[in-house]
Every structure is written in C-alpha cells, then in structure tokens.
C-alpha cells in the first residue's frame, strides 16, 4: 500500500496560497510590493529548506522519507507510515521548530505589526506569528520531509474578548483573536480510526492524541479544511487586522479578495443584504 498523492497536493496548495497572500493583501497602488515580495519569497524558500534539513538532522536515521518536490504532488507516492512512526515524526518536527528554532506565538497589536504576524516571509524571518501562520510553516516544512499536514481551525465557544468586541462595537484596541489551529496528518498510508488520530499544535509545539484534543478543545469537530478554506481564513485574518488598524481601504480590498476566494463565505450574505 502506498500513500495517496492527493494529500500532498493539498499541502502544496496551502504553501502556494501562503506565497500569494502578500500579493493579495497588498494595496493595488503599491508599485514596490512585487519586487519586495519576490525577494522575500526567495529568502523564505531557503529558510524552509534549512529548517527541514535541521529537522531531518535531529531525527533518528530513516525516520523521514524523501521530500515531496513541488510540481510532483500528483504523481508522488510514499511508503506507508505506522502510527508510531508518524507520532515520532510529528514529535521531532515540533521539538525542532518550537524548542530549537524558537517558533512561537507572542502578544502583539495589529495596529503596530500590520500583517507581519500573518505573512509567511515575515513569520519565517522573525520566528513568531499567529497560530494559523505557524501551522502553515509546519505544513511547508513537513512537505520537505515527506509528511503531509493540513491546518484545521479549532471550533471554540464565544470568549470574553469576542463579547467585549460586540459590546464596544470596535475591535481596534483588542489583542489578536483567540482562534486556535491544529495540524492533522492528511494520510498515514493506511486505515485509521478517529480515536487513533493525531494532531499537532504548532502554537505550543505539542503532539496531541484524539482524547487530548477533545479535552482541550471540546467544540472542535476535527474536520479537515481544504486549501481554499485555509486561504479564505488567511484573508479573513487580514480583514480583521486592517479593521483593528483602522485602514478602511485595505479592509475593502481584502474583503473583495476574500469573496473571490470563497463563494460560500458568510460575508456574502452581509454584502448582499447591504445592497440598496
């Protein structure tokens, strides 16, 4: 039995979306953006390759298979991976990126940081970002190690910060939102039950079993998002960040991009309802 190629195609698509995000969120009149983004992307690709090499060097010999090259995702297959081997892979990945490389989440204000905690090049250069961005970093590094991961947004109940935002009618002064993200291996090369599922929390660098995930996140449905949904969530964060910074033009631009990415986005209902 060989691992299906489709999960790698989905993970590749997540990475492609991460490279496109700086362009999609850039102001249309900013002529300097394309050259800057291209230069940052080149440096970021080198950083991802070096991170993957560091993870591989820190692992027992043979733990990781060959990397999945970009463009080969539709034909690439991998030997099956046991549940124990997958757990070891995720553990080594988390230990290297969290403990040795120092990727983490830290407090910040969108007003001062702009979109930097969301955008992949900035997160790679500074080794910190929001949970979604860290999950994308793990996805990109995993691809270079033959491990297919997809981000999942954790479903949570309303929080005090959300209620405060509703009462005040303004989110400009609030800290970053409470959204949590988990990484779920797309395929292990064999059938598994939901109780055997493994998750990786990139924000804290910890591997979770299905039981641990239920205890920490009782509202999480465990349903994997496709690449397009991850792109849309990234754009949704950009909208929120610009709202908190009070940049109305950037909000409108990113909402337009969000609606184009997700034809089923709930924002469509709001936009259509506001039409005269």
> What pLDDT digit, counting tens, does each position of 106-163 carry?
999 999 999 999 999 999 999 999 999 999 999 999 999 999 999 998 876 544 333 3
State pLDDT tens for residues 65-101. Answer: 776 655 554 445 567 788 999 999 999 999 999 999 9
State pLDDT tens for residues 24-34. Answer: 998 766 555 55
Q: Indicate the pLDDT class of residue 7, thresholds 50, 70 and 90.
A: low
Arithmetic mean of pLDDT over the chain: 81
Q: Who has greater pLDDT, 198 or 268?
A: 198
State pLDDT tens for residues 223-239. Answer: 666 898 899 999 999 99
> What global pTM score does this model have?
0.85
Distances (CA, A) of 255 to 25, 242, 261: 10, 10, 10
List the domain boundaries for the chain.
Answer: 6-273
What is the spatial distance between Cα 158 and Cα 152, in angstroms, rounded to a whole number?
A: 18
**pLDDT for res 41:** 79
Closest C-alpha to 55, from 71, 43, 67, 44: 67
**pLDDT for res 236:** 92
Distances (CA, A) of 98 to 55, 181, 200, 206, 209: 11, 15, 12, 9, 19
Query: How far is C-alpha 42 from the geometric centre of its chain's CA atoms?
Result: 19
Helical spans, DSSP H, in the chain: 6-25, 33-58, 83-94, 110-113, 120-126, 131-143, 160-168, 210-216, 227-245, 248-261, 267-273
Closest C-alpha to 120, from 242, 231, 236: 231
**pLDDT for res 110:** 92
**pLDDT for res 188:** 46
3-state secondary structure of 3: strand
Q: Indicate the pLDDT class of residue 44, thresholds 50, 70 and 90.
A: very high
- Other Cβ atoms less than 10 A from the Cβ of 273: the count is 7
What share of the chain has pLDDT > 90, as a percent?
52
What is the spatial distance between Cα 224 and Cα 185, in angstroms, rounded to a whole number?
A: 10
Question: Residues 155, 185, 107, 33: what is their CA dihedral angle, to the nearest 10 degrees?
Answer: -110
State pLDDT tens for residues 163-216. Answer: 333 333 344 334 444 578 999 997 544 444 566 789 999 999 999 999 999 898
**pLDDT for res 99:** 96
């Amino acid at each position: 039995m060989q691992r299906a190629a489709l999960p790698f195609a989905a993970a590749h698509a997540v990475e492609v979306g991460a490279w496109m995000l700086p362009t999609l969120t850039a102001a249309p009149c900013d002529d300097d953006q394309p050259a800057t983004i291209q230069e940052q992307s080149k440096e970021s690709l080198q950083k991802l390759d070096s991170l993957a090499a560091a993870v591989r060097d820190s692992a027992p010999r043979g733990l990781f298979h060959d990397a999945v090259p970009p463009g080969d995702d539709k034909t690439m297959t991998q030997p099956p991976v046991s549940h124990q081997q997958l757990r070891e892979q995720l553990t080594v990945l988390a230990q290297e990126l969290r403990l040795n490389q120092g990727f983490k989440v830290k407090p910040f204000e969108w007003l001062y940081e702009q979109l930097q905690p969301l955008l992949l090049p900035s997160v790679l250069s500074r080794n910190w970002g929001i949970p979604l961005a860290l999950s994308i970093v793990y996805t990109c590094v995993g691809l270079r190690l033959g491990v297919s991961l997809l981000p999942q947004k954790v479903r949570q109940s309303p929080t005090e910060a959300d209620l405060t935002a509703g009462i005040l009618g303004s989110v400009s002064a609030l800290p970053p939102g409470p959204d949590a993200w988990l990484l779920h291996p797309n395929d292990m090369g064999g059938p598994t039950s939901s109780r055997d599922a493994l998750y990786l929390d990139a924000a804290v660098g910890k591997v979770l079993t299905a039981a641990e995930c239920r205890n920490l996140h009782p509202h999480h449905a465990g349903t994997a998002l496709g690449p397009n949904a991850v792109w849309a969530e990234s754009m949704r964060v950009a909208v929120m960040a610009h709202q908190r910074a009070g940049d109305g033009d950037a909000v409108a631009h990113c909402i337009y991009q969000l609606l184009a990415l997700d034809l089923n986005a709930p924002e469509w209902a709001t936009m259509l309802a506001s039409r005269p």
